[in-house]
Amino acid sequence: MEFTGQIGLIWEETKVPLVVPVLKVMVILCLAMSAMLFIERVYMGIVIVFVKLFRRKPEKMYKWEPMKDDVELGNLGYPMVLVQIPMYNEKEVYQLSIGAACGLSWPADRVIIQVLDDSTDPAIKTLVQVECQRWASKGINIKYEIRDNRNGYKAGALKEGMKHSYVKQCDYVAIFDADFQPEPHFLTRTIPFLVNNPQLGLVQARWKFVNSDECLMTRMQEMSLDYHFIVEQEVGSSTHAFFGFNGTAGVWRISAINEAGGWKDRTTVEDMDLAVRASLKGWKFVYVGDLKVKNELPSTFNAYRNQQHRWSCGPANLFKKMAMEIIRNKKVSLWKKFYVIYSFFFVRKIVAHIVTFVFYCVVLPATVLVPEVEVPKWGAVYIPSIITLLNAVGTPRSLHLVLFWIIFENVMSLHRTKATFIGLLEAGRVNEWVVTEKLGDGLKTKLGGKTPRKPRFRIGDRVHILELGVGAYLFFCGCYDLAFGKNRYFIFLFLQSIAFFIAGVGYVGTMVSTS
């Protein structure tokens, strides 16, 4: 009791002169970041409504004519296309991607399928090589390429793949990650944009998730990514002819890649790096939202955490590396430079992550303990509610899950904020690349189509200390608000703390027993 009394005394003595001023500054900064995010979301909402109302389809914005057979030239009337499939120990999905690429509707003598296998498992390498030989025996022009190292990871594999002599005859390159399955008409939809519009360097398609109904976590991911593809990519394409390349399900003009300096492995977002550099050279991009390519969402929590670390750390690190280069560039307009630096990078890739965690999981709960600091209702309720609704409209079928989505996104914001600061400060894990685990159909086959619900519990693999620590902090703030507070935040705080505890013990997503 005496010890508790001493802590209470220290708290009362430091609260007014130290804690209150710091917390007030934090509230002001968080409200400013919330306002930035709110304006950004409203702006994109207005633009996307305009795009939909006036039917500004890519085929109307750019010249597009279907490829036609030429009587005199024959298949020579079709440009030569390279299809790259980078993969790493993809035992569960390699057949899907290779089969889909080999099934593309394009003259067989005008396309080269290039499988870039960085696998370290000899058995898997053999399986992939045999699969390539099987398609080659059917008359498909498929190349199986390996390296003696994994330098640069995916960027290194793509860069090495472009060095082969047969690539020189190709005009365009389509890229598909190992779990992506393009429809046969993919090239006939995308290549005409590049053929008829010499200013275009990239055509990007939308992702379609084959396992979005696998568990609640995949439904949450679908909501976030649908907003990215339906709104963010569409707005960037329609207003600035710029957006971040998604690393897959897109077709590049090879001369645009070369002019931009080729693939670089200086960050974990080599796709975004290339897109920004190509844009600074004056190349334009087009997003084709009604062309969807099937792929798989990470369904295990560790796989998703690793992916989100890469997707949050990489852009922050790239922003640090390229900010001055973008500002000094003279080939693009001032308006486009402002869009890339402020909207694309600063608000979406940095502010969005930081404000979600710092404001809603640290500062707002802290005001329960420090009643001298108040957060205006517009900042605590109205702005986040509108932002949430604007995000959720991209996936109407999941509107009833919006509460779960808010709580889940707040949990993930801890990991994203940490990764963002690692990227900005170029700290330890800045260039860590963990390939996202894909389960393909293997899991369902082994279990007779049923997802495992009670795996063997392994503490070392499942416990996440940071999530548990934040959960404990939120639970304490909730208890304090229930007992002494007037804010009535305790309902939110208890729900959010439970979510952090659940994530802290890894009880999220599809859980695969390692036995």
Positions marked catalytic = 118, 271
CA distance 143 to 140: 9
Alpha carbon of 21 to those of 42, 50, 87, 375: distances in Å? Answer: 32, 44, 52, 14
**Beta bridge partners of residue 284, listed in sequence order:** 200
Residue 6: how many other CB atoms lie within 10 Å: 10
Among candidate residues 395, 410, 392, the one with its CA nearest the CA of residue 352: 410
- b/e per residue, 442-454, with b = 16+ CB within 10 A? ebeeeeeeebeee
- Residues near 103 by beta carbon (within 8 Å), at least 6 away in sequence: 184
Report d(CA 414, CA 269) in Å as an integer.
Answer: 20
Task: Name the region of 202 (left: φ>0; alpha: ψ -120 to 50; beta: rest).
Answer: beta
CB 207 within 8 A of CB 225: yes
CA distances from 221 to 301, 307, 509 (A): 11, 12, 11
Contacts of 489 (CB under 8 A, 6+ apart): 364, 365, 368, 477, 478, 481
Q: Which residue has the tokens 């930081």?
A: 354
Question: Rounded to an integer, what distance in angstroms lies between the CA atom of residue 497 and that of residue 61?
Answer: 48
Q: CB of 80 within 8 A of CB of 161?
A: no
Task: Give CA–CA dist 295/180, Å, rounded.
Answer: 5
Question: Can you tell me the distance from the alpha carbon of 81 to that of 107, in angstroms, rounded to the nearest whole number?
Answer: 10
Q: Are 81 and 109 in contact (CB under 8 A)?
A: no
Question: How many Å apart are CA 417 and CA 164, to the nearest integer?
Answer: 40
